[in-house]
Structure 1
Amino acid sequence: MRSGAVELRDSDGTLSDKLGEGDLYAGLCEADSAGTGVTVEDSLLYLLDCRALASLREASPAFDRQFAADRAERLHRASAPRAAAGLDVLSVKAADLLHREPVTLDGDMNIRQAAQLMSAQRVSSVLITEGEGLVGLITDSDLRHRCLARGLGADSPARSIMTPDPVTLDGEEVLAEALLRMTRLQVHHLPVLIRGRLAGMLTLSDLARHQGGSPVLLATDIQRAADIETLTAISRRLPELQLQLDNANTRAAHIGAAIASITDALTRRLLELAESRLGSAPVPYVWAAGGSQGRQEQTVHSDQDHALIIADELNAPDREYFTELARFVSDGLNACGFPYCPGNAMASNPQWRQPLQVWGDCFTGWIERPQPQALMHASIFFDLRAVHGEAALLHTLQEQVLAQTRANRIFIAHLTAAALQHRPPLGFFRNFVLIHDGEHDATLDLKRRGLLPIVDLARVYALSEGIGAVNTRERLKAAMAAGALGRDLGGSLLDALEFIAGLRIHHQSDCLRAGRAPDNYLPPDTLSALERSHLKDAFRLIQSLQATLGNRYQAGRFG
């Protein structure tokens, strides 16, 4: 279709599809084609001979994929070209990176024997075992800090300086998960288990050799930073990290999680610096990230969204401590390139810095009285994830919230109605609906009109089914497992999410290479014909699911 619009109808007259500018249609070359096409406005079509088309499809698998009869299959192939080609380095399984048998030591041996074994084997760590079970881990850092620095005798038991029950990695887990775990826990060694048995050790050096630029190295520098000035300097490397990950053919889902892990590390270090200035917190608290950071779907230097949940024993005189704490962290994040939230959804706002009971009352009010303002808050604070502090405070709140949302169909209906406000930018005849506001004229807003509709849909499924996950992919997978979302449709929605997020990452990389601040506004004329077609497939899928969700959760629910 060069221009114009065509309606495709089945033999019984049922509308089956609509074609607009740039669309491709191979139905005329199918033996069982029995439908008709009706032009609804002046149209210009280019016709390719069926024999020529067949020859091209046979010669080029990539060309053939474009004409797959099933839109879902086309979208699936478009969303994962890197994984299919084995190019995404963060999708490699941990087991595939193991290059030697595990170096182990019986827990009854002494520290000297542990050091001698590490030296002889040329390794930076040794695994402490009892029989075939893993009970601990000793690293060269443990030898320095837990033995030499404390004057502990070399004849002391090795188990006296080990890290007991170390965090492990399953051999089937991918490199992306290893990086996130190391970054989150500030560790450089992860024992790997295959079918429950110890198989080897994965180290930061292994990951660096395989991947190159590493989020773990950046997080390590963050942990060592002594002041905000140093953190600010380190944070300037974050755009380069995102660019490196994109250049390394990393999936958008993995990039989002990696960027969020660095923001987590910055937040934790700022909280530690604040506590070193203010003293220990008077009562337990948890700092929780919301929005894209909370969902682990973040791109470089997005706005701040966070909250502070404080234990109920908070006294009035202690409130000033948390006021100063929140202000220090919010100002620090802003200095590091994460702008203040335009809607002030930050812990520095007293409204979002409250004891657990007050938070519970807030959520109950939003659920029982789902006004527009409450639903706007829901889009941020129903996606909270613990970053630092007493995570049990957030878990208690989330359990209470999910119990209420699952039983309140009126709230879910209102939440669905709010979610349907974010429509994909696709017109009636598959033409892109572009922004026309001057600064971003003639562009597609991939975040608000592409990604947020999927994020909103996943949130509706999560809250209606009592699903505790906050990551969009995890929510959709859990909804599929619960039977609330069909596996075929859910799988296609996951593909659409990855494809649109990938386009956004690529666009931001182009911005960075050109020396511009990354944004979400994509000029459609920068897309190839295939990318335009796949993006339209993704938008149509979202439209279809929005219609399904609206029928399921809204019908008769507002009475």
Structure 2
Amino acid sequence: MNIELLEIRSFLANYHPFSLLSEKTLSDLPEKIEIRHFLRGSEIPDTGTLFDHLYLIRTGKVELNTADGELQARLGENDVFGYRSSHVGSRDKLKAFAMEDTLVYQLRAADINRICDQNAQLNSFFETSDEVQSRRQREARSLFSQSDHTQLSLMLTPVRELLRRNPVKVPVTATIQEAARVMNQKRVSSILIYHEPERREQKLIGIVTDRDLRNRVIAKGLGLNDRVSEIMTKSPATINSSDFAFKAQLQMARYNVHHMPVMANNRPAGMITTTDLTRQHTCSTVYIIGDIYKHTDIDRIKEVTAKIPELLVNLVASGATAMSVGQLITSITDAVTTRLLQLAEKKLGPAPVAYAWVAAGSQAREEQIAKTDQDNILVLADDYIPKEHSKYFSLLARHVCDGLNACGYTYCPGDMMATNYDWRQPLKVWKKNFNQWIDRPDPEALMLTSVFFDLRCIYGNRSLFQDLRDYVLSKIRGNRIFLAHMTRNALSHQPPLGFFRNFVLIKGGEHDHTFDVKLNGIVPIVDLVRVYALAQCSNAINTLDRIDLMENSKAISNDSAGDLHDALEFIGNLRIQHQASQVKAGKEMDNYVSPDSLSHSDRNLLKESFLVIRNMQSVMKYRYQR
């Protein structure tokens, strides 16, 4: 082998994914490579199509454009393009141009096909996005039986798809006999009770079940002509039609009910029952989650949370998105938190004043992927008297936070928990705190407000939390100076991408040659859309809901909203797939991903996602920091 071929072999031996090849294949490969020089401005290739060969940039820079000249990517040294590429745009219309004098290694598609057929890792690297999805579906089918798939599908099925009929209802003025007659005619075991206002909207005010007819009518000897309002359950718990079925089951287990009204746009859309769920062969894991509310000791609750890594693996294999996984795992955290609060109240007695237990961060946004550290606060009623009531709420917070830590939700490193006296305060004190943070947005205040703008009430008096949230939103309405500071803070997290689309990676240490997919991929989007939501004074907390808000309010174009949505989903899915693979390998879950572990398709899609984030950050900076 001559010196030039030896140099090519040495380069390939240190270049992923060719470093995965056997010694023989690696030695034979240089003879199949053609060295090509392209002058600045020339098109690549000069004959044939871009996808007839694989191109590896040795020196120089390349631009990929659509047929109408729209820039798709800028590539630099060691980047590959051409063969089985997955850049945005139609494959047959994508064109490449040398931005400066460029040297490339050119390998025929037929030759790389033969090598891929013999090397699964190399073939995986060059898989297209469609091929990746097809492979994952095959893996899921081989991993689970058909019944397992049916069970897991319930977690990913919207409640509206389980509705079998239109709402069965009677007005509040109806008699018990009239309600029973309608239930008999419609062959249902429950009926909705609505208020009859003069306008068209029919407000749900109660529900009556066949059990109510037995226990509240026959057993108590009520007359059939008595009003149905005498026996109805007032203000019943409800579920939104867009929520997943697993959430309905968790709610029904929590409130120990067998019927739950389904709402769409604040109007009754139907009724879901435990029979509807069992008919779908509900996942056994969800039944176990329901058992959380039956357990009275922390060890039994720990048994549930110990199953979260296994649940993550199953969901990823079944094709669940990061959004649905986040909602399910957050529901587990909510259930554990609620049960711990119930047990604390049982041990300590009723609270001396009203309170709201509020979660912050990813739990508030319903975006938890795995067990993480806890962030929570207590909002107390203004009749709170420190000398008389402080001990009760100190013990309450300690019971819950210690319990969460025992279940794997570790203590917050920054002590942002209700066990910290500063984070359990009366409503008036919280309002005063937000006044200071918003009026004097120094770095610490911006850090706090960034966390505290992602809040959700988990348990207790929700009106306390809503009062605080309404007050804060009114405080920032039209406050462009504060938004400018929030924007600067949001721009502190950047996607790890250099000018020529090269990944900027961690160097040295435990996580050498990786990037933090959460800190540098997901957090920039979360921070970005939070600023837009605050600018709209919106109550939206979930990141996808905030993106929808940006689109509906015309803050960004439909195309930009779609790109941002896709970027969040792709990066989120990459994260859960990485963590699921770690669980299967018996490793601790983390967020550090190496580009070498990704296929060529996924690397390109990840770069496109990072470019979307970078572009949206530029738009935000221009809009709110002028």
After TM superposition, the score normalised by the length of structure 1 is 0.80
Seen in structure 2, the aligned counterparts of structure 1 residues 549 and 195 have a Cα distance that, compared at 3 Å, is closer
Partners of 2:61 and 2:491 lie apart in 1 by 27
| Structure 1 counterpart of 2:287 | 217
Displacement of 1:356 in angstroms is 1.1
Partners of 1:469 and 1:112 lie apart in 2 by 38
Partners of 2:92 and 2:303 lie apart in 1 by 63
The 5 Å alignment of 1:125-136 reads 125-127=189-191, 136=206
Given the alignment of the two structures, is residue 260 of structure 1 paired with residue 330 of structure 2, yes or no?
Answer: yes
1:116-143 deviations in Å (ceiling 9; x for gaps): 969x97x8x4225689987644557768
Which piece of structure 1 moves more, 446-455 or 37-46? 37-46
Partners of 1:144 and 1:321 lie apart in 2 by 41
Which piece of structure 1 moves more, 175-184 or 502-511? 175-184
Displacement of 1:365 in angstroms is 1.4
Q: Which amino acid aligns with 2:591?
A: N
Question: 3-state SS of the aligned residue for 2:450?
Answer: helix
Seen in structure 2, the aligned counterparts of structure 1 residues 34 and 337 have a Cα distance that, compared at 3 Å, is closer
Q: Which amino acid aligns with 1:416?
A: T
Displacement of 1:321 in angstroms is 1.2
| Structure 2 counterpart of 1:297 | 367
Displacement of 1:295 in angstroms is 0.7
| Structure 1 counterpart of 2:460 | 389
| Structure 1 counterpart of 2:617 | 546
Seen in structure 2, the aligned counterparts of structure 1 residues 261 and 145 have a Cα distance that, compared at 3 Å, is farther
| Structure 2 counterpart of 1:44 | 105
| Structure 2 counterpart of 1:278 | 348
Which piece of structure 1 moves more, 519-528 or 105-114? 105-114
Given the alignment of the two structures, is residue 24 of structure 1 paired with residue 81 of structure 2, yes or no?
Answer: yes
Q: Which amino acid aligns with 2:348?
A: L
Which piece of structure 1 moves more, 179-188 or 509-518? 179-188
Displacement of 1:193 in angstroms is 6.9
**Partners of 1:204 and 1:216 within 8 A in 2:** no
Partners of 1:469 and 1:186 lie apart in 2 by 29
Displacement of 1:40 in angstroms is 6.7
Task: Give the superposed CA RMSD.
Answer: 4.4
Which piece of structure 1 moves more, 475-484 or 130-139? 130-139
Given the alignment of the two structures, is residue 237 of structure 1 paired with residue 307 of structure 2, yes or no?
Answer: yes
- The counterpart of 2:546, out of the listed 475, 479, 483, is 475
Displacement of 1:392 in angstroms is 1.4
Given the alignment of the two structures, is residue 312 of structure 1 paired with residue 378 of structure 2, yes or no?
Answer: no
**Partners of 1:231 and 1:266 within 8 A in 2:** yes
1:435-490 deviations in Å (ceiling 9; x for gaps): 23422222221110110000000111111221111111111211222222222111
Seen in structure 2, the aligned counterparts of structure 1 residues 350 and 126 have a Cα distance that, compared at 3 Å, is same
Seen in structure 2, the aligned counterparts of structure 1 residues 199 and 340 have a Cα distance that, compared at 3 Å, is closer
Partners of 2:256 and 2:61 lie apart in 1 by 57
**Partners of 2:476 and 2:534 within 8 A in 1:** yes
Question: 3-state SS of the aligned residue for 1:345?
Answer: coil
**Partners of 1:180 and 1:257 within 8 A in 2:** no
Gaps of 5+ in 2: 1-54, 114-125, 139-149, 197-201
Seen in structure 2, the aligned counterparts of structure 1 residues 527 and 349 have a Cα distance that, compared at 3 Å, is same
Question: 3-state SS of the aligned residue for 2:98?
Answer: strand
Which piece of structure 1 moves more, 139-148 or 536-545? 139-148
Partners of 1:374 and 1:197 lie apart in 2 by 40
Partners of 2:430 and 2:545 lie apart in 1 by 25
Given the alignment of the two structures, is residue 163 of structure 1 paired with residue 210 of structure 2, yes or no?
Answer: no
Question: 3-state SS of the aligned residue for 1:359?
Answer: helix
- The counterpart of 1:96, out of the listed 142, 153, 161, is 161
Partners of 1:90 and 1:64 lie apart in 2 by 29
Question: 3-state SS of the aligned residue for 1:416?
Answer: helix
Displacement of 1:267 in angstroms is 0.8
Seen in structure 2, the aligned counterparts of structure 1 residues 249 and 109 have a Cα distance that, compared at 3 Å, is same
Partners of 2:536 and 2:165 lie apart in 1 by 45
Q: Kindly name which structure, 1 or 2, has the bigger radius of gyration based on alpha carbons.
A: 2
**Partners of 2:250 and 2:290 within 8 A in 1:** no
Displacement of 1:265 in angstroms is 1.1
Displacement of 1:300 in angstroms is 2.0
Partners of 1:305 and 1:47 lie apart in 2 by 54
After TM superposition, the score normalised by the length of structure 2 is 0.73
| Structure 2 counterpart of 1:269 | 339
Paired residues, what number? Answer: 528
| Structure 2 counterpart of 1:2 | 56
Question: 3-state SS of the aligned residue for 2:589?
Answer: coil
| Structure 2 counterpart of 1:367 | 438
Partners of 1:430 and 1:327 lie apart in 2 by 48
Question: 3-state SS of the aligned residue for 1:2?
Answer: strand
Q: Which amino acid aligns with 2:554?
A: G
Question: 3-state SS of the aligned residue for 1:302?
Answer: coil
Q: Which amino acid aligns with 1:97?
A: L
Question: 3-state SS of the aligned residue for 1:24?
Answer: strand
1:246-303 deviations in Å (ceiling 9; x for gaps): 2332221111111111111111111111111111111111110001001110112111
| Structure 2 counterpart of 1:490 | 561
The 5 Å alignment of 1:280-429 reads 280-317=350-387, 318-429=389-500
Partners of 2:92 and 2:311 lie apart in 1 by 51
Partners of 1:227 and 1:140 lie apart in 2 by 34
1:78-97 deviations in Å (ceiling 9; x for gaps): xx99xxxx996555444433
Partners of 2:551 and 2:90 lie apart in 1 by 36
Seen in structure 2, the aligned counterparts of structure 1 residues 380 and 536 have a Cα distance that, compared at 3 Å, is same
Question: 3-state SS of the aligned residue for 1:190?
Answer: strand
Question: 3-state SS of the aligned residue for 1:346?
Answer: coil
Displacement of 1:179 in angstroms is 5.1
Partners of 2:290 and 2:68 lie apart in 1 by 65
Partners of 1:29 and 1:195 lie apart in 2 by 39
**Partners of 1:182 and 1:216 within 8 A in 2:** no
Identity of aligned residues (%): 41
Displacement of 1:233 in angstroms is 2.3
Seen in structure 2, the aligned counterparts of structure 1 residues 458 and 265 have a Cα distance that, compared at 3 Å, is same
